[in-house]
Chain A
Amino acid sequence: MATRPLGVEVPGVALALRRPGAWTVLARFCRKKPLGAIGGFLMLVILFTAVFANQLQTHDPIATDAGQSLARPGADHWLGSDHLGRDIYSRIVHGARVSLIVGLASTLLGSVLGGVIGLLSGYVGGKTDLITQRVMDILQGLPLLVLALVMSAALGPSIPNVVIAISIPIIPRAARVIRASVLSIREMQYVEAARAVGLRHLRIAFRHILPNTVGPFIVLCTAQLGSAILVEAALSFLGLGVPEPYPSWGRMLSVSAAEYAQKAPWLVLFPGLAISLAVFGSNLLGDALRDTLDPRLRGA
C-alpha cells in the first residue's frame, strides 16, 4: 500500500497516519486472532499441497498394485494403501486439489450469483425484492445436502456438475447476506449524492455500492467454503459426487473403505482427517475474519 503523506510535511505525523502495510496488518491479525491465524496457516498448507501435488506425491495416485493391497502404513506407503494397492498418502495429496477446486469453484459461483441477486434485490427494493426474497426462501427451505443431492442426481456425476449442484444451495445464503448490507449502504449520503449527480442505477449499484459489500462477501465465502468441502465429501461418499478416477477425499471413504475398515482402519482415518482439517481451517479463518471485518455479526 502506498503511503499517503498529509498536506503538512511533519515526518512523525506522516508516519503515524500512514496506512499500515500488509505485513503489519497480518502480524496484528496473528497476535489478536491466534485461532484465525492457525486456520489461515492450515488453508495455506492445503493450498500448497493442492498446487504442488505432483511434486509431493510418492506414488501415482491412480495406479493400482495388487501386490500392495491394504499395505500397512510404513516406509513405502506412508499412510498405507487401499484394497487396490493405491497409495493413500498420494491420493490424499491429490485429493486436496479436487476438494479445493470443487470447494472454491462452487463457493465462488454460488456467492457471486447470490451476491448479484442480493445486490439487485436490495437496491431495487419494492415488489422485485419481495418476490426475490420468497424465491430465496424456497431454495433455502431444503437442507443443503438434500438440495445438492437431488441436483447432482439430476445432472449426473462430473466435476462441473458437482460444482453447480453445491453452488445452488449457497445462492440464497449469499443473496441474504449481501442484500442486508446493501439495504444499509443504499441509505448512505454518498449514494444519494451519486443519484443527484445523475448516475445510472446499474452504475451506482455495481460501482458505488458493490465495493462496500466486499467485507461481508469475504466472510461469507470463507464460511461457505467449509460447508462446500463437506457437501462435496458427502456427495462423493454416496457416489454422486466427483467420479473416478479423480482421488476425492469423500470418495476414498466410500463403501469400499467401510468394507475393509476393520482390517485397515487407515483407509477411513486419514481421508477423514484431511477433510476435517480443511474444513476446520476454513471455519477458524472464517470466524476470525468475521470478527475483524464485520463486528455486527460477532459470535453469531
Chain B
Amino acid sequence: MKTYIAQRLGIGLLTLLGMSIVIFGMLRLAPGDIVDILFSTGGYVNPSERAAIEKELGLDRPVWVQYVEWIRQIVTGDLGKSYRYDLPAWEIIRPLIPVTLELAVLSLIVAVALGVPLGVISAVRQDTGLDYALRVFSLAGLSMPSFWLGMVIILSLVAWLGWIPPVTYVSPRENFWLHAVQFTLPALAVGYRSSALIMRITRSSLLEVMREDYIRTARAKGQSGRVVIWRHALQNAILPVVTVIGIEFAFLIGGLVVTETVFNLPGVARFLVEAILWRDYPIVQNLVMFIAIVVILSNLFVDMLYGFLDPRVRYGH
C-alpha cells in the first residue's frame, strides 16, 4: 500500500511537472508579453521605464531561467505578485478558496443525491417509459450550459416569487440562510449537469451487476427486491460510480468558471476569468497550476478509496 501511494505520488509529480511546462508554454504563445499589454493600456511610457518593468518581471532573462524561477517560487510557496492589485497573489487567492470549495462540495452533493438514486431507478425499470424519461432528463442536463441554467433559475425566481437573490456575496456570519440559498442555486445548476454522468454510470454499472449469479441467489433466498438492489447490487456497482464522482469533482471546477461569474460569487474560478481578462499572467499561471494540483490530488484520493470500498482491490501487486 505504501509503495503504491509513493508510486502514485511520483507519477502525479511528474504529471504536474509536465503540466507546468504546458501552462508556461501556452501563456508564452501569446502575441506580445505582459509589458506590451501594460503599455498599450497605459498609453506612452518611456523606454527606460519599460526596461525597468521587464527587469522587475524577470522578462529580460532567458525563457528557461524564467521557468526554473517560477517552479522554484511555487515549491517555496511564493505565488508571485498580482499586477492588477499590486499585492502578493496568495493574499488574494486565499480568501477565494473556501468559496469555490463550498460551491464544489455542494454541487457534488446535489450531483450524487440526484444521480445515484435516479440511476438505480432507471436500471431497475430498464426499457420502461420511466427509464426513457429519466435518461432524457439526464441527457438534458448534459446539454444545457450550466451558466444558462443558473440564469434561468434566477429569472424564474424573480418571475414567480418576485424575489431577487442577493447580487453580491453574503458571508455565512452575516446571514446564514441567505448565504445557504445563494450557494444552493448555483450548486443546483452545476450539480444537475454532473448528476447526468453519475446517473448514466450508476445505471450501466448496476445493470451489469444485476445479471450476476449472487443476485439471483439473494432473490432465490427470498430477500425483498429493495434489499437486493440497494444492499447487494449497489455495493458492487458503486466502484465505477466512485471513479466518475472523483473525475467529476475535479471537473466541476471547469463548470464553476462560468457559474461563479453568473452568480457573482468571489471564488477562485471567477478570479481566474478576471485574471485572464486583465492579462494578469502570473496569477493565471499559478491558478491553473493550483487547479491541476487539485485534479491530481482528487484522482489520487479516488484510487485510495478503492481499497476501502472493495477488498478485492489490493495495491502493490
Contact = CB atoms under 8 A, between A and B. Distances in A.
Contact of A265 (B144, B148, B159, B273): B159
B82 interface: no
A222 to B, nearest CB: 13
Interface in A225-279: 226, 230, 233-234, 237-240, 250, 253, 258, 261-262, 265, 268-269, 272, 275-277, 279
B291 A230 contact: no
B241 interface: no
Contact of A253 (B22, B136, B148, B277): B148
Interface in B161-218: 164, 200-201, 203-204, 207
Contacts of A276: 140, 143-145, 148
Contacts of B261: 238
A156 interface: yes
B137 to A, nearest CB: 11
Contact of B143 (A141, A238, A283): A283
B242 interface: no
A149 B258 CA distance: 11
A208 to B, nearest CB: 33
A261 B139 contact: no
A172 to B, nearest CB: 11
Nearest to B258: A234
A262 B158 contact: yes
B161 to A, nearest CB: 13
A154 B29 CA distance: 6
Interface stretch (A18-26, A45-53, A56-64, A131-139): A131-139
Interface in B289-305: 291-292, 295-296
A226 to B, nearest CB: 7
A261 B159 CA distance: 11
Q: What does DSSP make chain B's interface, helix, strand, loop or mixed? A: helix
What bracket does the count of chain B residues touching chain A fall in? Answer: 35 or more
Contact of A143 (B30, B254, B276): B254
Contacts of B204: 298-300
Contact of B292 (A141, A155, A230): A141
A287 interface: yes
A112 interface: no
A246 B273 CA distance: 22
Contact of B148 (A145, A272, A299): A272
Contact of B152 (A134, A137, A272): A272
Nearest to A281: B143
Interface of B: 14-15, 18-19, 22-23, 26-31, 132, 135-136, 139-140, 142-145, 147-148, 151-152, 154-155, 158-159, 164, 200-201, 203-204, 207, 250-251, 253-255, 257-258, 261-262, 272-273, 276-277, 279, 284, 288, 291-292, 295-296
List of 8 A-B pairs having minimum Cβ-Cβ separation, nearest first:
A143-B254, A299-B204, A272-B148, A280-B143, A138-B18, A145-B254, A279-B143, A153-B276
Interface of A: 35, 134-135, 137-139, 141-146, 149-151, 153-156, 226, 230, 233-234, 237-240, 250, 253, 258, 261-262, 265, 268-269, 272, 275-277, 279-280, 283-284, 287, 298-300
6 contacts: A35-B135, A142-B19, A142-B295, A154-B27, A230-B145, A261-B151
